[in-house]
Amino acid sequence: MDLSQEGLTPSWHEWRDAPAADFAVIGDPIAHSLSPRMHQAAYAALGLDHRYVALRVAPGEVAAALAHLAKLGYQGVNVTVPHKGEAFETMRSIEEPARRTQAVNTVRLPDLVGTNTDGAGFLDTIEDLRLPRKFAAVILGAGGSARSVVLALAENGHDVRLYNRTKARAIELVETLGVPIEVLDHPDPTGAHLIVNATSAGLHGAELPIAWSGARSDAVAYDLVYGPQQSPFLAAAQRHGLRVVDGLPLLAAQGARSLEWWLGVTAPRQAMLECLRWVQ
């Protein structure tokens, strides 16, 4: 479904024109963010009178934007592409998952405390996939989100292998996180119960050179990217009979964890996920 159809375009603002609100997501581009829809659905379910908006912040302007939003009385901000690293540099205080991944996706204002809910949110989303208690995973990508996923899986004792187009970045990721995982020369899914695409290849319509015929028939292919069209990665996995998961459950889970961190209440996870499914 085209989100720009009447009534489905989430509103957004330049950060300098930020309206009176309580929470926001910042990124660039930000026009198609589903976070306002999702958080507003959560506030409605909780009976809260909060407002959540999407704001465009250009690279290099994260510190200025956060200072401005704090002055306007905003209580918190989600951070998305490409600002998670810049937000990390801007914080006064950092909580543990963000310290190790060096990427902040959730900020509390006005005190500039940063955390990262991507890894824990990812673990939430694999709970219902009926994977073995300890499983083998292949992660594709070495950007900020791959770092969160690799750390979350490795810390939980799963067998993680990592592939990235630029191998040096994968090696650097492993060294930065200090986790004992193997770096692959090819995106080889052989033996993996879970294959996670944490690259942005699908956003550009690019195919990853994965030999799907070597994958386990009961494996799950999981793409962090979401959108109205199935990604080339998930489409190829489905053609080979694998179960597939897109990035919407992760969007909902990381958002739910942000909301819980800010407000200290249990997030209405079903309402947050359902409002996203309805968009699709």
* Closer of 68 and 243 to ligand NDP (Cβ): 243
Q: How far is the CB of 148 from ligand NDP (least distance, A)?
A: 8
Give the C-alpha separation, 8 to 242, whole Å: 32
* Closer of 67 and 129 to ligand NDP (Cβ): 129
Give the C-alpha separation, 158 to 137, whole Å: 7
Q: How far is the CB of 121 from ligand NDP (least distance, A)?
A: 7
Give the C-alpha separation, 64 to 256, whole Å: 26
* Active-site residue, from 71, 84, 134, 167: 84
Interface residue list for ligand NDP (CB under 6 A): 81, 118, 141-146, 164-166, 169, 198-201, 203-204, 206, 208, 224-226, 247, 250-251, 254
Task: Count CB-CB contacts under 10 A for residue 118.
Answer: 28
* Closer of 29 and 191 to ligand NDP (Cβ): 29
Mark whether 71 is an active-site residue.
no
Q: In 26-60, which positions are buried (b, 16+ CB within 10 angstroms) versus exposed (e)?
A: bbbebeebbbbbbbbbbbebbeeebbbbbbbbeee
Give the C-alpha separation, 24 to 232, whole Å: 31
Q: How far is the CB of 168 from ligand NDP (least distance, A)?
A: 9
* Closer of 30 and 66 to ligand NDP (Cβ): 30
Which residues are annotated as catalytic?
A: 84
